[in-house]
Structures are given as C-alpha cells and as structure tokens.
C-alpha cells in the first residue's frame, strides 16, 4: 500500500480539530462558552418492543460535551457537583417513532465549594464526609477532607450550558446539528480543581 493511499485513508477520518466547525454539522452558536471536548456516537437499543417484523431496535445518539465553567482559575477547596435526569423512552411501532418522556429529577450531589456554581433543588439533611489521601509524595502531602450534600435535582447557571432539572424545558436543548430531535440532558458533572478553570461535563441523548 503506497504512502499516497495511506494518507488518503487517514485524511478522510483524521482531521484537524481547528477545522471542526467547517468539517462537521455541529452548531454551538446558541452558547457563549468554550467547549474543549466533543464525543458523539449512536447505539441501537435491543429489546422486545412487541413490534412485528422489527429487526434490532431503535437507535439513540449520545453526545458528550466538556466545556469551561467560566474563564477564571478556581481558588478554594476541591469539589464537584453532579446530577442525573430521569427519562422514559417509548417507541411507537406503527409510526416508527421514539419519544423521550420527562420522568422527574434524579439524584444529585455537591461537595467542597461547588455550591458557588450549583444549587440542589432539594437537599437531604444528612451530610457525608469525603476523604482522599495519598502518601506517595511523602508525609508532607496534603489530604482532602470535605463534606458532600446529596439531594434531588439541580440548577446550574455558569456555563457553557446552563440548565434547571425541575422541568422538561429546563433540561432540553434545541437541536445542535446532529440528529432529528431535541437534546435531552442525561447526566452532568462539574469538577473544581484549585488553580485550574473548572470543567463541566454533559451527556445528552437524541434521536438520530
């Protein structure tokens, strides 16, 4: 196989990230923040849908986004916050159509100083302690001992994508260039590391 053929094969799938917007159909213009990672894939769900002559199942797209939560380096104790959103999936055999039905707010948690970035829509009264320690760098290493609060649902208003899981509209986005449906927030997590700009991670589901 010649170098020209190998180069042609590589150039069809391996492209410069600087040309991402020109080479793909994604459109993030509705957001003002900065995204640093995009991962998209499509999976077929296999199940018994009681549909005659149906081979396999319906397809669901999964979009994972990571972006900076602001522009300033974080100063404070390490922390994190996460939430999941509950959705029911209903498949209409006759019309070959998949529906996402909002089923309520899922479990959420916040630890350290992450309360500056998020608020839990309902907090449980009990708090737990999170400890992280390692002596690999010697006895003068710092270990982390922070409190975690758990609850239901979350409101996040920093960036690059704000949301509120208390309603379907609050955690559903307009189509961003891939698929045929809106984008339904599944999971979210923001990590706070002292000295670094916090990074927010999102997982959305959509209909291809």
* Count of residues making up the chain: 208
For residue 117, being part of any structural domain is answered with yes
Among 163, 148, 84, 88, residue whose Cα is nearest residue 118:
163
Q: Say if residues 205 and 62 touch (Cβ distance below 8 Å).
A: yes
Host domain of residue 159: 26-45+58-196
pLDDT at 5: 44
For residue 118, being part of any structural domain is answered with yes
pLDDT at 167: 96
For residue 208, being part of any structural domain is answered with no
Q: Say if residues 42 and 208 touch (Cβ distance below 8 Å).
A: yes
120 DSSP β-pair partners: 154
- Number of other CB atoms surrounding residue 161 within 10 Å: 23
d(CA 143, CA 164): 33
For residue 114, being part of any structural domain is answered with yes
What's the number of domains the chain is made of? 1
Per the model's pLDDT, the better-predicted residue between 177 and 135 turns out to be 177
Q: Which residue has the tokens 């990074």?
A: 199
d(CA 173, CA 202): 12
For residue 178, being part of any structural domain is answered with yes
C-alpha distance from residue 88 to each of 74, 91, 104, 133, 184 (Å): 37, 10, 10, 40, 11
> Could you give the 3-state DSSP secondary structure of residue 165?
coil
- Render pLDDT for 50-97 as a digit per residue (tens, 0 to 9): 666 555 567 899 999 999 998 999 998 889 999 999 999 988 877 778
- What's the average model confidence in pLDDT over 172-178? 89
For residue 131, being part of any structural domain is answered with yes
d(CA 178, CA 193): 32
**Residue 9 pLDDT > 50:** no
For residue 1, being part of any structural domain is answered with no
Strands of the chain, DSSP E: 35-44, 59-68, 79-92, 97-111, 118-132, 144-156, 163-164, 172-173, 183-192, 199-206
> Could you give the 3-state DSSP secondary structure of residue 130?
strand
- Number of other CB atoms surrounding residue 99 within 10 Å: 12
For residue 19, being part of any structural domain is answered with no
- What's the average model confidence in pLDDT over 168-182? 92
């Amino acid at each position: 196989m010649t170098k020209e053929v190998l180069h042609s094969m590589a150039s069809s799938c391996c492209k410069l990230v600087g040309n991402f917007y020109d080479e793909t159909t994604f459109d993030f213009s509705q957001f003002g923040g900065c995204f640093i990672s995009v991962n998209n894939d499509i999976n077929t769900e296999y199940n018994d849908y009681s549909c005659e002559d149906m081979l396999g199942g319906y397809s669901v797209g999964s979009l994972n986004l990571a972006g900076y939560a602001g522009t300033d380096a974080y100063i404070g104790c390490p922390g994190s916050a996460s939430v999941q959103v509950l959705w029911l999936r209903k498949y209409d055999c006759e019309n070959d159509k998949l529906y996402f039905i909002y089923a309520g707010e899922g479990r959420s948690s916040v630890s350290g100083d992450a309360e500056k970035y998020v608020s839990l829509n309902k907090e449980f009264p009990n708090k737990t302690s999170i400890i992280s320690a390692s002596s690999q760098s010697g006895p003068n290493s710092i270990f982390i001992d922070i409190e975690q609060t758990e609850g239901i649902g979350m409101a996040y208003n920093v960036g690059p994508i704000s949301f509120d899981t208390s309603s379907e509209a609050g955690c559903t986005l307009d189509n961003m260039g891939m698929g045929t449906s809106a984008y339904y927030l599944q999971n979210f997590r923001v990590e706070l590391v002292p000295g670094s700009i916090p990074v927010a991670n999102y997982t959305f589901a959509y209909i291809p």
